[in-house]
Amino acid sequence: MLSELLSTVFERRTRYWRTGRRDGRPLPELTAELRGAQGESSGLALARSILDRYEELDDDGRLEFFRHLSEEMTIEPDAVRQALAAYEEKETRISYRALMEATEPPRQELIRRLNQVPGATQALVRMRADLIRLGRNDDALQALDLDFRHLFSSWFNRGFLVLRPINWESPAHILEKIIAYEAVHAIDSWDDLRRRLQPSDRRCFAFFHPAMPDEPLIFVEVALTRGIARSVQKLLAEGSDRLAEEDADTAVFYSISNCQAGLAGISFGNSLIKQVAADLSVELPWLKTFVTLSPIPGLMKWVQSKDLSPEVGNAAEMSKLAAAYLLNAKKPGGMPLDPVARFHLGNGASVHQINPDADTSEKGQSQSAGVMVNYLYDLSKVVQNHELFATGHKVAASSEVRSLAAEAKKALT
């Protein structure tokens, strides 16, 4: 209730502060004045003007704005050295504060002041999406992005997020965004969306932030099944038999979609899955198993890098190769090569079951020859699995998957 109230307050204040007069001065002049502003009203007006002016810029103008922040509002090495020397000479509250101020670039405080304007959080998320897109190959702009990411990690921590169920009765503008943001298995129509939300054996949950009440940050789609699902097409098929929720024993997380490009690198999914699993276990205490039905997006690229012909990819062979890839293919440093595997294993899941011919879509065929995987969330073991993975990159897996990986050695040699 408190989160809903905060959302309403944010929305009302946003409408009020958007009625200010436009300030046509150059953006660097406005940012300099905002950094030094003492009055609350003048600071809010300046922040609103900067954000409005930014929205009017084309990509060249936005890139120029980012360069202004990265070049003219960065740390000063000499000031850092002097503050560090003073702190090393005598560790006091004053010397520590001086060191903190010297090592924080002025643009962080600018971003904080911009965020004082109601409605600014969403504008800053869009701004970071532009920065990520325009600054991919620029070290200075990537350093600027670290400042955005540092601040967003605090603003969007789990304590501020609101978990909401999404169903067929949810507002239309939210449902439209679920269709638009679905990133794993495209929603083709409103009828397709209805099949995912309305039946008693379907659930959908999303995280929201009070400052962005109409924008889902991430959502997960869940199917209640009897036994572990092995095919996404069967889960999503039109006219498929529906299960009464009391007859289900398994919750299958079959699609997880991040919604905001400007929040890339800010992790919500681990909290979302664990929260939904915990809530479902309370709502439906007879559920015994919590699993995903996940893609393996890097499998075929890895197979081809090993000079293995796709023609060897019959169901049995591809299952073995998929197991070997998920358990043994590593990035420098020892983390799994597959991004989805890194995500779920980092959350404390285990590689439970390999499913050939599980995704017959064009995307599924090109990424993994149709192979999908079930990651198991055993709520009694997720903490232990997470610790082993975090400290030693140990991959938890079923004996069946380990046997398949061992059998793949012949193909790989």
The distance of Cα 191 from the centroid of its chain, to the nearest Å, equals 27
Distance, in Å, from the CA atom of 374 to the CA atom of 109, rounded to the nearest integer, reads 44
Secondary structure of residue 156 in the 3-state scheme: coil
Cα atoms in the Cβ-side hemisphere of radius 13 Å centred on 9: 8
Give catalytic status of residue 344 as yes or no.
yes
- Cβ count near 3 (within 10 Å): 16
**Which of the residues 294, 319, 350, 368 is marked catalytic?**
294
Give catalytic status of residue 95 as yes or no.
no
Q: Where is 255: in which H helix or E strand?
A: strand 250-258
Note whether 245 and 306 are within 8 A (CB). no
Note whether 195 and 236 are within 8 A (CB). yes
Cα atoms in the Cβ-side hemisphere of radius 13 Å centred on 195: 17
Largest separation between any pair of C-alpha atoms in the chain:
75
The distance of Cα 129 from the centroid of its chain, to the nearest Å, equals 13
CA distances from 22 to 26, 48, 210 (A): 12, 9, 27
**Which of the residues 7, 255, 257, 344 is marked catalytic?**
344
- Cβ count near 153 (within 10 Å): 13
- In sequence order, what are the beta bridge partners of 353? 374
3-state SS of 194-235?
HHHHCCCCEEEEEEEECCECCCCCEEEEEEEECCCCCCHHHH
Measured between alpha carbons, how far apart are the two ends of the chain, in Å?
A: 60
Could you list the active site residues?
A: 294, 344
